[in-house]
Structures are given as C-alpha cells and as structure tokens.
Chain A
Amino acid sequence: MSRKTIKVDYLARVEGEGALNVTVRDGKVRDAELRIFEPPRFFEAFLRGRDYAEAPDVTARICGICPVAYQMSSVHAMEDALGIEVNGQLRALRRLLYCGEWIESHALHIYMLHAPDFLGYAGAVDMARDHPEIVKRGLALKKAGNTIMTVVGGREIHPINVRVGGFYRTPTRKELEPLAETLKQAREDALATVRWTAGLDMPEAGRDYHLVALHHPDEYAMNTGRIISSRGLDIAVADYNKHFVESHVQRSTALHSHLREHDCYLVGPLARYSLNHDQLSPLAREAAKEAGLGKRCNNPFQSIVVRSIEVVYACDEALRVIAEYQEPDSPFEQAEPRSSVGFGCTEAPRGLLFHRYRLDDDGSILEAQIVPPTAQNQPSIEADLKELVGDWLDLPEDALRERCEQTIRNYDPCISCATHFLKLDVRHE
C-alpha cells in the first residue's frame, strides 16, 4: 500500500485562518478535510437584545470586503419582518451600492489573490513587478467599486448609509454624475479583464455541481428573488431552513451547510452565471461568448473569467441605474416594530447570504441566524479536492500543493465571514 502526505501549514491569499488535510492511498484521494480554526465570532449572539435598526451596521462589521452583502441581507430580512417593501429609486440605489461591492470584491480577488496562481507568482507584489500595467488596471477597477460605495454608502469600507426602509440620505443626481465617467472607464477595464483572464492557462477540471443561486424574473438577481437550483429547487427565501441544514463538524469552527435531500451544493459566481446567464446584459453575454464560455460553466478554475464577466455586468448595471436615477421624495420608508420573523437572502460576491431574525414587539432582536456563502461552500470545496486532486497526483510535490491551494482559492473563500481559515496537509497513504 502506498501512502503519501503533503502538508501546507498556511494557505495564503484567502481571508482568515485555516488548514487542509488531503489523504491519498493507493493513488486515490481517500479524504479531503478543510479545517477552519479561526475562533468563532459570535455575531449572532451579539445581535440578541439589540434593536432591529442596528442590524445593518452591526452585521456590516462582519466583513471588510463584503459589508454591503451583510447590510443588504439584514435590511431585507428586517423589512420582511416589519411588513414593508422598498421599491423604485431606493431599490435601484441599493442595487447600485451592491454593484460597487461586486466590482471591488471581484477585482481584489481576480487581480490580487487569484491571478498569481495562474501566472506562477507567490502573490500580487511579485506579479506587479512583471506586469505593472495589468495590476494597475486591477487597482483602478477596485477603486471604481470603492467610489460607488463611498458615494452611495457613505464610506468605502463598512458603509454607514443603509437603514431599514432605505437609506439615511439619498444622493443627488449631481453627486452620481461623476460616477458615470468613472464607470465607463471601469467597464472598458472590465472587458479587458475578461479577455485577459480568458487567455490564462486553465486546468481542465469540472464537476457536476448542484448549483444554487437567487433568481429574479426581471433581472440578474442581487437583492431579491427566489432560491433556485440546477436540480429543480425553486423556493421562497422564507423556506430556506426547510431545505438547507447547518451542522457542526469537529474540524471547522464554521458550520457546514447541506441541502437536506441533495447533500453539498455550490453558491457563488459559477452558480449565478449558469442559472441566470440570459439575464446578463448583452455586453456581458457577448464578452462571455468571446471568452469561449457557454451558458453554463462547471470548471471551478474558470471562476476567474466568470467573476470578470460579472464585473462587466456590474459596471453596465450601475451605469443603467445612474442614467435612470430620479431623486426620491423620501430617503426611506417608515417601519413600525412588531413581534415577527423576517427572512432575507441576497447574492454576496461569494454567493448566497441568508439572514433570519425573530423580533420582539418592541423591535428588539430575539434570535438571529446568518448563513454566509463560504460556510455553504465548505463541503463543495472538500468535494472538489476529493474529485479533482486524483488527476494531479503525478505533479511534483510543490506543484500539487499549489494546485490544491488554487482549488480552494477558486472559491474566493472568506473564512473570517464563515466563522469564520488555512493550513494544507495532504497525506498520501
């Protein structure tokens, strides 16, 4: 019996701390365990006893990369609980803010965290020495996203302008106009990013994923819609807990998520793209076609191309919202506290982000449940490693270790959100 162990003590270019163990016996991968040991952060417990209105600002502190996602899922859940619906220009402004986050988060991952894997660099700094113009383009894209977050959200990290019912203050048309010029250049940079990522040397890989994403009949879903899957799931957000279950596994301080009847599933850019392709803007669809992608993508390494396409879409969509913007009469819809339960689910850059709150009659939070995308993708990451690593066992040790890390980075995992990560230990037995 041949047995082999490959060990990586710290995985770079991911958010948070964790490790990976892969066991190979007789040339087959027997086990792959993603160990997340970053201490739990207890945000759900922090929220108990707080006023419902505090949830968007408290949950925004969970992540410095995707604070808007936390704000959006929490405000939608609270609005559901309080029986109000945010429509018109307020809804459009939220979509604009989310576009900003998709652009800055995807640009960070594409250029700073993921691209070095494909080009053989230890990190973005090394890559910048050889490809300065490419890295400058990435930074410019990220800055464009941050600018949206500053103008609409009040600041670029942990925005402060979102409230239950709408915003504390809505921007004037004049304040949004300069954004349009920035976004037109960003859209050109995003198209160049698609062409560049499509030309990267891409490992041949793929699995028959059970894809799960939000779907809206009229738009590429970001804030609202039903939860659908590639195997026929089609449920209201309020029914999330009837179909998805969280469980604790000893190796992770982040709960694992499963579909009750179908085990592991995939959320994030590949799921969104494959389930909602036809709702991308014509320019984004054309860019995908030129990049050689069909309407569905099952190669997790191509997630870097799909993220680039989503950046094109986010620039397009942001420009549309700005062009059609009319200053609303009021920055928010008034809400009255009541004893109730509310559900919110939005598409964070890394995938589906579910929130559920139970409120007391004075509006104080009795229960909070937050299910981040990285927690949901943990079983899928392990399944990728179990199924894909076997094809790479002939690679030299260092290259195999690097490929395993890259397989995890395909997910743009945010361990800090999930707990919330990474050491890698591959054992060949």
Chain B
Amino acid sequence: MSDVSGPVRIIGIGNRDRGDDAFGPRVVDAFQDRLPEHVSALEHSGEVAGLVDLMTDAAAVYLVDAAVMGLEPGCLRVFDASGSPLPAMGGAFSSHALGLSEAIELARALDVLPPVCRVFAVEAVSFEAGEELTEPVASAVPGVVQAVIDSIRQEYVHA
C-alpha cells in the first residue's frame, strides 16, 4: 500500500472508431462519477509524447488497452510495468513505430515512470474501422473496471 503524493490516472488507450480498439475509452466512460478527487480517468490516443507527459507527474497510472496476446477473446491480463518492460505483444498501436511499450520504456529511461504502473490488457478480436466492440470484448468492460478499482484500493489508502 502506497501513500498518494500525486495524481492517480486511469488512462484508456484507443480509438473509438476502430472496433475493439475502443475498449480503453469505453472503460473510461464507465468510470465517470465513480472516482475520488485525486483519481481521474482519461481517454488517450496512445500518442507517445502525450502518454509520457501524463506519466511524468503521476503517483500511479493504470493503463487500459486492447491487445493481441493469443488469449481467448475478451480475456484480461494485468501487467506490472513499474519494474520491468511489458512482454512483446501486438498492441493496438503498433502501426506507428512507437506504441504503449515504447512510451513506458521511454518514461522509465527518462526517470519519470510513476512508482505504480499497471497495464490492463484485454484480448481483442477486431480493429476494423467503423465497427463496434465485439461481444466478448464489450462483455469484459465491467470486470476490468472492477479490477482497476480493486487494484487502486489495494494500493492506496484513500481510493
């Protein structure tokens, strides 16, 4: 359990117009009006400079993303990236050279990675433009919201 000495950020990464890539933003939607003052939930495109900036002054970041990990559709994996890099996996942002893994490692190299950095990755089915979340990924939203809340409660006195 840690003392909070900076903002706690839940960051839903993704694009609402690209199928299961909307998972992170949809989790952010589900947090509205449910968070204590020092915790915020933000939607983010995954752009590397912006992500590093959001990590720089935070006490903790909880990053929610859709990914391709070879699991069952909608299956959640939680990674503790505070001490070690994410395992190699096909993320939703691999198309533009620098993705979530690189943002985390860049923040670590620059010594601005928060002491708590958790990644909640859900196995995606489709990133088709213009499509909705697939059913198994949409069904995973409530469980991931609860998993993030549980994680914050376990790690912070005031959450």
Q: Is the CB of A65 within 8 A of B96?
A: yes
Q: Is the CB of B129 within 8 A of A156?
A: no
Q: Tell me the residues in window 100-148 of chain A with beta carbons closer than 8 Å to chain B beta carbons.
A: 104, 108, 112-113, 123-126, 128-129, 132, 135-136, 139, 142-143, 146
- Contact partner of A139 (CB less than 8 A), chosen from B45, B52, B105, B111, is B52
Q: Tell me the residues in window 19-50 of chain A with beta carbons closer than 8 Å to chain B beta carbons.
A: none
Stretch among A10-18, A306-314, A346-354, A399-407 lining the B interface: A10-18
Q: For A61, list chain B residues within 8 Å (CB).
A: 17, 129
Q: Is the CB of A128 within 8 A of B109?
A: yes
If A15-B96, A126-B109, A157-B45 are given as contacts, then 13 extra A-B residue pairs at C-beta distance below 8 Å, sorted by A number, are A13-B97, A15-B95, A15-B97, A64-B47, A65-B96, A108-B98, A112-B97, A125-B106, A135-B109, A135-B110, A139-B53, A143-B53, A156-B47
Q: For A380, list chain B residues within 8 Å (CB).
A: none
Q: Is the CB of A129 within 8 A of B109?
A: yes
- Please give the residue numbers on chain A whose beta carbons come within 8 Å of chain B beta carbons, in ascending order: 12-16, 61, 64-65, 104, 108, 112-113, 123-126, 128-129, 132, 135-136, 139, 142-143, 146, 155-157, 416
Q: Is the CB of B105 within 8 A of A125?
A: yes
Q: Is the CB of A143 within 8 A of B129?
A: no
Distance of A128 Cα from B47 Cα, bound (Å): 17
> Can you name the residue of chain A whose Cβ is closest to the Cβ of B105?
A125
Q: Is the CB of B47 within 8 A of A146?
A: yes
Q: For B102, list chain A residues within 8 Å (CB).
A: 123-125
A146 and B49 contact, Cβ closer than 8 Å, known pairs A61-B129, A124-B102, A128-B110: yes
A124 and B96 contact, Cβ closer than 8 Å, known pairs A143-B49, A156-B47: no
* Prevailing SS type, chain A contact patch: helix
Distance of A136 Cα from B53 Cα, bound (Å): 10
Q: Does B50 contact A (CB under 8 A)?
A: yes
Q: Is the CB of A135 within 8 A of B106?
A: yes
- Please give the residue numbers on chain B whose beta carbons come within 8 Å of chain A beta carbons, in ascending order: 17, 45, 47-50, 52-53, 95-98, 102, 105-106, 109-111, 129
Q: For A64, list chain B residues within 8 Å (CB).
A: 45, 47, 95-96
Q: For A16, list chain B residues within 8 Å (CB).
A: 95
Distance of A230 Cα from B129 Cα, bound (Å): 41
- Contact partner of B98 (CB less than 8 A), chosen from A104, A112, A129, is A112
10 A–B contacts from the bound complex (CB under 8 Å): A61-B17, A61-B129, A104-B49, A128-B106, A135-B109, A139-B52, A156-B47, A157-B45, A416-B95, A416-B96
Q: For B95, list chain A residues within 8 Å (CB).
A: 15-16, 64, 416
* Cβ of B104 to closest chain A Cβ, rounded Å: 9
Give the top 8 A-B pairs by smallest Cβ distance, nearest first. Answer: A128-B109, A142-B49, A139-B49, A125-B105, A129-B109, A157-B45, A143-B49, A132-B110
Q: Is the CB of A124 within 8 A of B50?
A: no
Distance of A54 Cα from B105 Cα, bound (Å): 38
By CB atoms of chain B within 10 A, which of A126, A135, A157 has the most?
A157
> Can you name the residue of chain B whose Cβ is closest to the Cβ of A111?
B49
Q: Is the CB of B45 within 8 A of A156?
A: yes
Q: For B96, list chain A residues within 8 Å (CB).
A: 15, 64-65, 416
Q: For A139, list chain B residues within 8 Å (CB).
A: 48-49, 52-53, 106
Distance of A132 Cα from B56 Cα, bound (Å): 13
Q: For A157, list chain B residues within 8 Å (CB).
A: 45, 47
A156 and B106 contact, Cβ closer than 8 Å, known pairs A14-B97, A16-B95, A65-B96: no
Distance of A64 Cα from B17 Cα, bound (Å): 13
Q: For B49, list chain A residues within 8 Å (CB).
A: 104, 108, 139, 142-143, 146
Q: Is the CB of A132 within 8 A of B97?
A: no
Q: For A15, list chain B residues within 8 Å (CB).
A: 95-97
Distance of A15 Cα from B97 Cα, bound (Å): 6
Q: Is the CB of B48 within 8 A of A112?
A: yes
Q: Is the CB of B110 within 8 A of A136?
A: yes
Q: For A123, list chain B residues within 8 Å (CB).
A: 102
A124 and B53 contact, Cβ closer than 8 Å, known pairs A129-B109, A135-B110, A146-B47: no
Q: For A108, list chain B residues within 8 Å (CB).
A: 48-49, 98
Q: Is the CB of A113 within 8 A of B97?
A: yes
* Cβ of A45 to closest chain B Cβ, rounded Å: 13
Distance of A335 Cα from B96 Cα, bound (Å): 35
Q: Is the CB of B111 within 8 A of A132?
A: yes
Distance of A132 Cα from B52 Cα, bound (Å): 13
Distance of A214 Cα from B43 Cα, bound (Å): 37
Q: Is the CB of B98 within 8 A of A124?
A: yes
Q: For B48, list chain A residues within 8 Å (CB).
A: 108, 112, 139
Distance of A157 Cα from B47 Cα, bound (Å): 8
Q: Is the CB of A143 within 8 A of B50?
A: yes
Distance of A146 Cα from B105 Cα, bound (Å): 21
Q: For B105, list chain A residues within 8 Å (CB).
A: 125
Distance of A112 Cα from B50 Cα, bound (Å): 14
Q: Is the CB of A125 within 8 A of B45?
A: no
* Cβ of A186 to closest chain B Cβ, rounded Å: 12
